[in-house]
Amino acid sequence: MKKALFVVSIVLMLGMVLGACSQKSDVYTVGTDATFPPFEMMDDDKNLIGFDIELMEMIAEEAGIDIEFKNTSFDAMLAGMTTCQYDMAASAITITDERKETMAFSVPYINAGQAVVVAADSAITGVDDLVGKTIGGQLGTTGLMEAEAVVDATVKTYDSYELAFQDVANGQADAIIIDYPTALAYVALNEGKLKVVGEPFTDENYGIVICKSNTELQEKVNAALTTLIAEGKVAELEQKWLAGE
Ligand code: ARG
């Protein structure tokens, strides 16, 4: 009797181990930094929501793959992508030549540019007024690179843009450089405290990042994304998440 039980439990354990392994190889991990509305953020119940989250789910469905999001800081996520710690990343990631050296990108799915956010009562009217100022940006972002390019500026880096906006609202920093759609979202969240000044001053395309060695996955993502763009599904997402911008 005891022996039978032992055999049964061994079989069960083996089944669990095998199940876990096979599950792992079938589910692709997708890194994201869910502090970037309207592209990736959390709702009140801590569910991931946003443009990129829905886009990634549509891509997965179209490509016939399973995905699982891993929420982490932007900088850690990009570093992780250079070593294929995640299979993919969806996080409003600008396609740049430098990044292309260490990670693969999908075709572009949306266009954005960097903008300047200041306190509501600030005299700064745009990027040209930032010389010598204290400018905040999120670690690893193109916005931070733009801040570093400003003459005589003191650059403050943050793990997430949330803290950067608090600092600007409290007068601890003069300005933030951040993607325009997210600038508008944060200004809306901090009613009366912040404003966007000037026009977006860079031209950037977002892509899904794919582990560089996985060209097969890159092809699947590109085929799915190209179909979704052609069918107007990406335009629908823009309408839903970026309406009025
Ligand atoms: N587009 C910018 C970049 O690629 C900022 C992206 C930040 N995304 C985020 N989820 N925090 O550097």
> What is the predicted pLDDT for the residue at 14?
57
Which of 1-10, 152-161, 198-207, 232-241 shows the lowest per-residue confidence on average (mean pLDDT)? 1-10
Closest ligand 1 atom to the C-alpha of 140?
A: 12
Ligand 1 residue neighbourhood (C-beta within 6 Å): 33, 35-36, 40, 74, 91-94, 138, 141-143, 179, 204
> What is the predicted pLDDT for the residue at 13?
60
What percent of the chain lies above the pLDDT cut of 90?
88
Ligand 1 centroid distance, CA of 9 (Å): 48
Within 13 Å and on the Cβ side, how many CA atoms surround 42? Answer: 13
Question: Could you read off the pLDDT of 101-111 as tens digits, one per residue?
Answer: 999 999 999 99
Ligand 1 centroid distance, CA of 5 (Å): 54
Q: In what order do the strands lie in the sheet with 88-89?
A: 66-71, 27-32, 88-89, 209-210, 104-105
How many other C-beta atoms can be found within 10 angstroms of the C-beta atom of residue 235? Answer: 12
Residue 81: which residues within 8 A CB-CB, separation 6 or more? 31, 89, 102, 103, 209, 211
Three-state SS string across the chain, please? Answer: CHHHHHHHHHHHHHHHHHHHHHHHHHEEEEEECCCECCCEEECCCCCEECHHHHHHHHHHHHHCCEEEEEECCHHHHHHHHHCCCCCEECCCCECCHHHHCCCEECCCCEEECEEEEEECCCCCCCHHHCCCCEEEEECCCHHHHHHHCCCCCEEEEECCHHHHHHHHHCCCCCEEEEEHHHHHHHHHHCCCCEEEECCCCCCEEECCEECCCCHHHHHHHHHHHHHHHHCCHHHHHHHHHHCCC
Residue type, 125: T
* Residue 83 contacts residue 235 (beta carbons within 8 Å): no
Question: Could you read off the pLDDT of 123-177 as tens digits, one per residue?
Answer: 999 999 999 999 999 999 999 999 999 999 999 999 999 999 999 999 999 999 9
- The answer to whether the peptide bond before residue 38 is cis (omega within 30 degrees of 0) is yes
* Residue 211 contacts residue 104 (beta carbons within 8 Å): yes
Angstrom distance (rounded) from CA 94 to CA 80: 16
Ligand 1 centroid distance, CA of 52 (Å): 12
Closest ligand 1 atom to the C-alpha of 142?
A: 12
What confidence category does residue 22 fall into, taking pLDDT thresholds of 50, 70 and 90? very low
Give the mean pLDDT of 42-51.
Answer: 97
- Domains of the chain, with CATH numbers? 26-111+205-241 (3.40.190.10), 114-197 (3.40.190.10)
Average of per-residue pLDDT values in the chain: 92
> What is the predicted pLDDT for the residue at 99?
98
- The size of the chain, in residues, is 245
Closest ligand 1 atom to the C-alpha of 40?
A: 10
* Residue 29 dihedral angles phi and psi, to the nearest 5°: -85, 140
